[in-house]
Amino acid sequence: MASLLPIRFALFLLLLPCAIVSAGQRDASIFLQIITLKTQPELEQVMGLLRSGGQFDELARKYSTHATAAGGGYWGPVRLAELAGEIRPQIERAEQGALIHFFHTSLGYTILRKLAPAVARQALLEQALQRGAASLQRGEKDLARAELKKAVALDPNSAAAHQMLGQAYLLQNTYEAMGEAKSELVQALALDPSLIWSRFYLARIYLDLGQPRKAKEQLEAALSTRPHIPHLLSLLGEANRQLGNPALAAEQNRRVLEIDPSFFAARYYLGLAYLELKREDEAIRELEAAAKSNQPIPDLYLTLGSVYSQKGDLERAVSLYQKAVAVAPDRAEGHLKLGQVYRRKRLLAQALEELRLAMPEGRQFLSTPYYQQLQAEIFFERGLTYQEQGVFAQAVENYTKAIEFKENYGEAYRQLAEALFHQGEYTRALVNALKAEELKHPVEPSLREKIKGKVKQ
């Protein structure tokens, strides 16, 4: 039990920043501020400064050798049972805000101030939020998440903490973190419906999940109070494009560019709208302009790469897909597109490696129609690549998996029929050829006749 720990060990614990404890432990806990010093003259100097009105936080940062110095000396919650026996009674008797100073061989010259829990928690919360925000700005995704999880633990009712933690999860750029981000942003809005950036990031998630109507609802709610924010209006345009109204999407993003001509995201979304409106030259102009920004967007590179791929400019397509993969190496889409172009260039080994990276063993995808389709496309592309290598057994296996993810995948049935024919499985080849024909993706007529001839023999 903690109360039976040797005094030296308990004093050692006093030197360490204390972790957040469970609700059951808080009853026997207190919050403190601490300054540790090396000499008696330093102790006397700092005590004098405190008594004359000096701020404990500032003096801790300037003079303290304790691990909490950079954070202003805030420390806790600390369990009383973990403190040295001779120190504990002084702390228990002290009034809130009282200063306690002493010397101990394990700590050196020490000044403690007892804090009201609400005051200490608010200070620790603000520090965690500040550190989390700074880490978000620097792109330090792991540090940001860790600090903001501390903030949420300190105050579960802080809408700002939930919002920023949602942003930190989005920074992870993984499918798994997206669900966590969504939960945090929904919680932030439940606590404070006026948080427009929670609505913005939640709308982005809904668009990624293929739910543009929900995204539109969030954006329109945010724009009802802040109608001229380019980020909101531009993303609303994209939601409208995904809802089947590219003309409105183009109009809304042109309006954004009138407000801020340098807003590259609007050029990207405008380019997407122009593509759907069959205005390819204007689309390429806007997408290329967006690609020159200092804020790379993986989807921008993927879209522009696809335009050049369709035009037959495979070198430019490869360059753009490689940028997409460099910016977001964990996203499957870039690897899939790069693999497709490598296959067209007859770089089959490189194509298979990209397709392996698109869906490495053990990767989990979200159970949504979009990701079901994505996995089907990856397996289908693997099948094509193996078929071009002449490895028909692997091709059959991958086409079959593609059909498991997309039941009426006409192209997969067509290619499966061809691969089965080359394996000598003529009856199965005919079954799949007929299914492909039913789905409007018939096998080549001469091959169909060969399959039928072999079945009749």
- Is the pLDDT reported for residue 27 higher than 80? no
- Is the pLDDT reported for residue 305 higher than 70? yes
- Residue 28's pLDDT is 55
Residue with the larger pLDDT of the pair 83 and 143? 143
CATH 1.25.40.10 domain span(s) along the chain: 296-364, 369-456
Min mean pLDDT across 4-18, 346-360, 400-414 is at 4-18
On whether the CB atoms of residues 273 and 237 are closer than 8 A, the answer is yes
CATH 3.10.50.40 domain span(s) along the chain: 2-115
pLDDT tens digits, one per residue of 167-216:
999 988 777 898 999 999 999 999 999 999 999 999 999 998 889 999 99
Task: Identify the top-confidence range among 72-76, 87-91, 180-184.
Answer: 180-184
CATH number listed for the domain at residues 369-456:
1.25.40.10
pLDDT class of 26 with cuts at 50, 70, 90: very low
- Residue 108's pLDDT is 86
Question: What does the alpha-carbon distance between residue 275 and residue 280 come to, in Å, rounded to a whole number?
Answer: 6
- Residue 18's pLDDT is 33
227 CB burial (10 A radius; 0-12, 13-18, 19+): exposed
pLDDT tens digits, one per residue of 331-370:
999 999 999 999 999 999 999 999 999 999 888 887 888 8
Average pLDDT over residues 284-313: 92
Provide the CATH topology of domain 2-115.
Answer: Chitinase A; domain 3 (3.10.50)
pLDDT tens digits, one per residue of 227-237:
989 999 999 99
- Residue 117's pLDDT is 83
- Residue 354's pLDDT is 98
Residue with the larger pLDDT of the pair 162 and 79? 162
Residues forming beta bridges with residue 100, ordered by sequence position: 112
- Is the pLDDT reported for residue 23 higher than 50? no
For the chain, the average pLDDT equals 89
pLDDT tens digits, one per residue of 105-124:
777 899 998 888 888 888 88
- Residue 151's pLDDT is 93
- Residue 14's pLDDT is 30
Min mean pLDDT across 25-29, 127-131, 440-444 is at 25-29
- Residue 238's pLDDT is 97
206 CB burial (10 A radius; 0-12, 13-18, 19+): buried
Min mean pLDDT across 73-87, 159-173, 248-262, 416-430 is at 73-87
Q: Report the percentage of the chain scoring pLDDT > 70.
A: 94
- Is the pLDDT reported for residue 73 higher than 50? yes
- Residue 7's pLDDT is 25
- Is the pLDDT reported for residue 435 higher than 60? yes
DSSP annotation string for 316-382: HHHHHHHHHHHH-TT-HHHHHHHHHHHHHTT-HHHHHHHHHHHS-TT----SSHHHHHHHHHHHHHH
- Is the pLDDT reported for residue 68 higher than 70? yes
Q: What share of residues in the chain are helix, strand, coil (percent, to 5)?
A: 70, 5, 25
- Is the pLDDT reported for residue 411 higher than 90? yes
- Residues 6 or more apart in contact with residue 276 via CB below 8 angstroms: 241, 246
CATH number listed for the domain at residues 296-364:
1.25.40.10
